[in-house]
Chains A and B, each alone.
Chain A
Amino acid sequence: MRQHKGQQEPYIVFDDVSYRYPGSGHAVKKHPYVLKHVSLTIHRGEFVAVLGENGAGKSTFCQALNGVVPHSRGGRMRGRVIVGGQDTQQATVAEMAQQVGIVLEDPEAQLFTTSVLSEVAFGPENLGVDPGEILRRARWALEVVRLTGYEDHPPTALSGGQKQRLAIAAALTMHPQVLVLDEATSQLDPLGTLEVFSVVRELNEQYKMTIVMATNKGEEVAEFCDRVLVLHKGELIAQGTPREVFADTELLQRVTIRAPQVSQLALYLAEREVPADKKRPADEKHPLAAGCSLSAGCSLSALPITLDEARRGIVQLMRGAD
């Protein structure tokens, strides 16, 4: 099970943050705020997922981390967002860009040059970094995202996964401490998603980068994340480890989020197949969990079921049997 990281001072602090977009006060009278009284902390080196249905406020939350909200989007923000000791409302977006890198959902909208090298150099060039230093950073960033050798390729010729990895590299050359991914894998196929997640995990584990990822892909959250934040209509309604969050079926139904399939199976079996007195002791790992990358967020490891019982359960689940 992934251990909760970081006992240092919190690196990111949301202090009773509420935000509404410009003009929304008239358009939506009852609920003009897209973030409402959000308070939380994130420690350096944590890998945090932000879950929520469409319109929950995930993108706004992500963009609040680097000051795009409210500087570029306008609107009204209450409370404070502190990142690395900097108040995002006091610092400019350019200053925050050196603390927080962001990767957006649409690969096409965030690549604006004609070569991979010029794409990753774009950010440091804007900051006036020495060209020699820019090239050094570019080489490092392309190596981290496994795009070495693609320097002269046009970004338009890359696959979806490669484009998002390029977007990550373009953020890395700014030397951020935090990487924010705003549904960065929603438009990717499973292979592209895996490519992006493996790069992000390496950044988190090897380079101790803090990762904040807005997503609805439960399997990846269970495998990679230390902590899950759940947003619903702009409010932070739950946070905890993936296991804690995905075990709360009422919560998931309320916010229409799907738990990882293996968790759904485990809960289904727990309700129908296994008597309570046959539960395995908490410290004894189930043989099926050994070597399974999803075991960290999985309730299955707590159940004393055999492979045959699991197969029967899966078949019943797929048939929709009661």
Chain B
Amino acid sequence: MKATVQYVPGKSAFHRLDPRSKIVFMLLVTFAILIVQNLWVAVAVLLTLVLFWGLARLPFSVVADLGKAMLGIVVFLFVVQALLYPGKTALIQPVIPRFVPFIGGRGQVTLEGVLFALLLSLRLLAMVVVLPLVSMTTPVHILTLGLVRLGLPYRLAYTVTTALNLIPILQIEAGVIRDAQRLRAFQVFEKGGFLDKLKAYPPLVTPLIIGAMRRAQLMAIAMDSRAFGASGNRTYIQDIRMRAGDWLFIGFSILYAGAIVAMRFLVR
């Protein structure tokens, strides 16, 4: 997975918004997406989020990379829902050929199952796209401050935002491990079959996790040594302030999320 959701410096209107207004937007839209039941509403929501992405002047290649990263989950969703969803319009029946002993002649893929899987995939993609709209337009320390000003304890806010920082670090570490493997003629990821690649993940994931745990331990020592969490009245050299534009954006977010929820009941 190449997608990174780290901050991308910029001067768009989205970048200039207070982090609180962006966080509220993200929460409202995520909640609204979760209850979308209509395929066309899901398509419309995804398209508007991509429009926001353009307004924020973020690279669309990240959207494509996020989509590729979700591909495995989407395929899994399709397989499960297409086979198990209780639909009426059979597209493929039976799934298992009749000549197969004992279980032959069973299973069906229904149109309703395929459409439901598509709906779930679009909802998932929309949720995955809305988070980077916030994280890629807001520096981490400002995002942390936004969460604190919204009432989250500093330690928890910092944990959430630090997790975002760790994704690209883990990607780089994984790249280093794979390079080291290639140097010892281990080329399964490039030339191996599906099962071979599956078996190749433990030798990649194990050192990655051990390295991540070691790094986390060192980070904890460094943070403790700088009095992390010592004071209940932590200060900040940079502060944030809600402006008129932020309140307008929150108002828009409420209307936007409200419209998505309303579609749930108006459009069948």
Contacts and interface: CB of A to CB of B under 8 A. Distances in A.
A216 to B, nearest CB: 19
Please classify the interface of chain A as helix (H, G, I), strand (E, B), loop, or mixed, using the class held by over half of its residues.
helix
A100 B225 CA distance: 8
Interface residues of A, number: 43
A72 B218 CA distance: 11
A94 B227 CA distance: 4
A275 interface: no
Interface stretch (A23-31, A36-44, A105-113, A229-237): A105-113
B165 to A, nearest CB: 7
B98 interface: no
A138 B235 CA distance: 14
Contact of A131 (B165, B220, B223, B237): B237
A211 B197 CA distance: 51
Contacts of B238: 118
A94 B234 CA distance: 13
A153 to B, nearest CB: 12
A128 B200 CA distance: 48
A94 to B, nearest CB: 3
Interface string B203-227: 0000000000001001111111111
B141 A109 contact: no
A129 interface: yes
B162 interface: yes
Contacts of A122: 226
Contacts of A130: 235
B229 interface: yes
A186 to B, nearest CB: 13
B218 to A, nearest CB: 4
A125 B236 contact: yes
A109 B222 contact: yes
A200 B217 CA distance: 26
B225 A128 contact: no
A101 interface: yes
Given A122-B226, A171-B225, A113 B235 contact: no
A174 B224 CA distance: 12
A114 B136 CA distance: 13
A104 B227 contact: no
Nearest to A72: B224
Interface residues of B, number: 28
Given A104-B222, A174-B227, A128 B141 contact: no
A265 interface: no
A77 interface: no
A125 B221 contact: no
B231 interface: yes
A125 B237 CA distance: 8
A98 B226 CA distance: 8
A123 interface: yes
Interface string A81-114: 0000000000011100110111010101110111
Interface string B171-184: 00000000000000
A121 interface: yes
Contact of A112 (B7, B219, B234): B219
A114 B7 contact: yes
A135 B231 contact: no
Contacts of A104: 218, 221-222
Interface in A64-83: 66, 68, 71-73
24 contacts: A71-B224, A73-B221, A93-B225, A94-B227, A97-B230, A102-B221, A102-B222, A104-B218, A104-B221, A104-B222, A109-B218, A110-B222, A112-B165, A114-B140, A115-B139, A118-B238, A123-B227, A125-B236, A126-B228, A126-B234, A127-B230, A128-B234, A128-B235, A129-B235
Interface of B: 7, 139-141, 162, 165, 169, 215, 218-231, 233-238
Given A97-B225, A114-B141, A127-B227, 15 more contacts: A68-B224, A93-B225, A97-B224, A102-B221, A102-B222, A104-B222, A106-B218, A109-B215, A109-B218, A114-B140, A125-B235, A126-B228, A126-B234, A127-B230, A134-B237
